Amino acid sequence: MIMSLKFLVKLKCYRHSVVMTAQKAKKRLNFKLTCGINFEGGTVMKDFLRILLLPVLLGIALAFAGCSGGGGGDDSSNLPDTPAPTEVIQPLTIPGPYAVACTNVAQDFSHISDDEEEAKDFWEGTDGYVTALLTDPNNTLIARVTAPLDSDLYGSFAGEEVEFAVIACYPTSADNPHPDYMLPTGDVVPHMQTGSDPPIFADASARYPVVVFSHGFGDSPISSSAYFTAMSAFASYGYVVVAPFHGDFRFSDLNIENLSDVIELVVNQENFTALQALRPLAISEALTIVLQHPQWQNHLDATQIGGFGASMGSETMMLLGGAGLTTSYFDLGKSWRQVTYDTRIKAAVGYVPYFGQPILPAFGRNQEGLDDVNLPFLGISGTADTVAPINMVEQGMSRLNGTRELVALSGVEHGFDIPSTNDIFTWALMFLDAEVRGNVTAKTQLLTTASVAGGGDDRVVIFYNGL
């Protein structure tokens, strides 16, 4: 009993959550009630399964928690006798030198309330999907993915075609005449294209590197100012950013907020796994349609493609690199399966990267699904993050075969840390320049850099090993 109580406390501390407004949480609760699934009881069958699974889940959760360690770094993460970096560099200016423009995502908000949460419900897949709001779908980038016939990975969505709206942002000329597009949230899509107008690049003769962008669980690329800051940071430094609306809540609205929700996850695990497995497929298809689009194909460098993911978006980057996704929380053996492997992506950066939790590992038991991954990866983690604990990231990254580096943001919890803005994107752009663009100066700088001046308190935990 004492051990179970300790586990309950630990579980609460390591919850995997998405911060939602009270209004949105209430709406999702009402949705569950409408479907006959109540947080406090649910259907008779759900109650029976909860009672049946509780002792089993507790035992397995304790086994996973015991395997994860209590935090801190893995001594094997850095090579023996490797000197720690000591240089403190000046931050980049964010945004960078280029103006930024984005593709057409014009929407009709007239039939929803003025409340910004109503719009977000469509963008995030809670109440319909963003494609239902589009006023010019023929001139909006839309990726269509057919889920493979594999119920272990794709649950009830196996064999189904799923649409993913896409926004792309890119470096544009200072005199781009397209006006900004106002969203109900108060954010704007900068210099948004309209109709069939082609993109206006800063240099029409250049071929730009690409960053595929994966937002966090339950969000969308346009749901917050932080995502616009991120997309604009990369585009303003010369990258074309390609970001699908994952619409996670179309597949599963589970929110691991407490013990009953973890049991709900186990009962409905298939579709939560499908949600995660579909994300990298959406990224790959979004990349393909942009690379092949007649308005874009002569302006992109298909040999220089990187990635950026936030939270679960970082897990998505690992899956694109061939990582194995956890498919069973009961199987203490090989409980993971490879989803895909997109060799076009040369490197990726993860901010507050989700590598799972002690009781819910993302890549199989002890992160074994990462053993054969060669994708160069930079992780930027918060030391106070209980949603995506840094010790899980260290454990996972120590298994990577390729170039890697982990930066810790002292005291930062799960979410975008505004004081660390310039730190985050200085590290991210330096890594992408090194590994995607092949910039030797950037590689050398990564070897010696310990932190970025000003902003938050950042420090290297796993040293760059890219030369």
- Per the listing, tokens 């930079």 go with 378
pLDDT in tens, 155-168: 999 999 999 999 99
What does the pLDDT read at residue 262?
Answer: 59
**Distance from C-alpha of 442 to C-alpha of 346, rounded to nearest angstrom:** 15
pLDDT, greater one: 370 or 52: 370
- Written as six digits, the tokens of 280 are 């990298």
Closest residue by Cα to residue 315 from 353, 346, 344, 275: 353
Beta 99-102 vs 161-172: how paired, if at all? Answer: antiparallel
Give the pLDDT confidence score for residue 50 in this predicted structure: 41
> 239, 432 in Cβ contact below 8 A?
yes
Look at residue 467 and tell me whether its pLDDT is greater than 80.
no
pLDDT band at 246 (very low <50, low <70, confident <90, very high): very high
| Helix/strand number for the chain, H first, E second | 12, 18
Of the ranges 50-54, 236-240, 391-395, 427-431, which one carries the lowest mean pLDDT score? 50-54
**Two tokens at 325?**
């996704």
Tens-digit pLDDT profile for residues 279-317: 999 999 999 999 999 999 999 999 999 999 999 999 999
For residue 245, give the nearest of 122, 113, 117 by alpha carbon: 122
Integer Cα distance of 280 and 115 in angstroms: 31
Are 114 and 183 within 8 A, CB to CB? no
Instruction: State the pLDDT at residue 270.
Output: 80
Q: What is the pLDDT of residues 446-455, one digit of tens each?
A: 999 999 999 9
Span 173-184, average pLDDT? 97
d(CA 298, CA 261): 48
Q: Which of 181-195, 234-248, 322-336, 352-366 has the lowest mean pLDDT?
A: 322-336
Question: What percent of the chain is helix, strand and coil (3-state, nearest 5)?
Answer: 40, 20, 45
pLDDT tens digits, 64-105: 443 433 334 444 688 777 789 999 999 999 999 999 999 999
The one-letter amino acid at 47: D
265 secondary structure, DSSP code: H
Element (H, E) at 63: helix 44-68
CB atoms within 10 A of CB 106: 17
Contact 280, 154 (CB under 8 A): no
Task: Please answer whether residues 133 and 109 qualify as being in contact, where contact means their C-beta atoms are separated by less than 8 angstroms.
Answer: yes
pLDDT of residue 328: 80
pLDDT of 37 over the 80 cut: no
- Specify the pLDDT at position 332: 52
Mean pLDDT (the chain, rounded): 84
What gap in Å lies between CA 187 and CA 181, rounded to an integer?
Answer: 8
Q: What is the DSSP letter of 197?
A: P
> How much is the pTM?
0.84
The predicted pLDDT at position 361 comes to: 85
Q: What is the rounded distance in angstroms from the CA atom of residue 228 to the CA atom of residue 222?
A: 7
- Using CA atoms, how far apart are residues 235 and 199, in angstroms rounded to an integer? 13
User: Which whole number is the average pLDDT over 11-34?
Assistant: 36
Q: Contact, 124 vs 219, CB < 8 A? A: yes
- CA distance from start to end of the chain: 52
Provide the pLDDT confidence category of residue 335 given band limits of 50, 70 and 90: confident
| pLDDT beyond 70 at 10 | no
Give me the DSSP letters along 413-425. -SS--GGGHHHHH
pLDDT of 116: 82
pLDDT higher than threshold 80 for residue 320: yes
pLDDT digits (tens, 9 = 90+) for 201-234: 999 999 999 999 999 999 999 999 999 999 999 9
**Under DSSP, is residue 226 helix (H, G, I), strand (E, B) or coil?**
helix
Cα 224–Cα 193–Cα 186 angle in degrees, nearest 5? 30
pLDDT surpasses 80 at 352? yes
pLDDT digits (tens, 9 = 90+) for 96-136: 999 999 999 999 998 887 678 899 999 999 989 999 999 99
Residue 266 banded pLDDT, cuts 50, 70, 90: low
CATH tag, 75-462: 3.40.50.1820
Band of residue 333 on the pLDDT scale cut at 50, 70, 90:
low
Cα–Cα nearest to 162, from 78, 283, 280, 282: 282
pLDDT given at position 165? 98
The candidate with the shortest Cα–Cα distance to 322, out of 280, 362, 282, is 280
Helices in 328-467 by DSSP H: which ranges?
A: 390-397, 421-435, 440-448
**What's the rounded Cα separation, in Å, for the pair 446 and 464?**
6
For residue 261, what pLDDT is reported? 57
Residue 52 has pLDDT above 50, yes or no: no
The pairing of beta strand 300-310 with beta strand 181-182:
unpaired
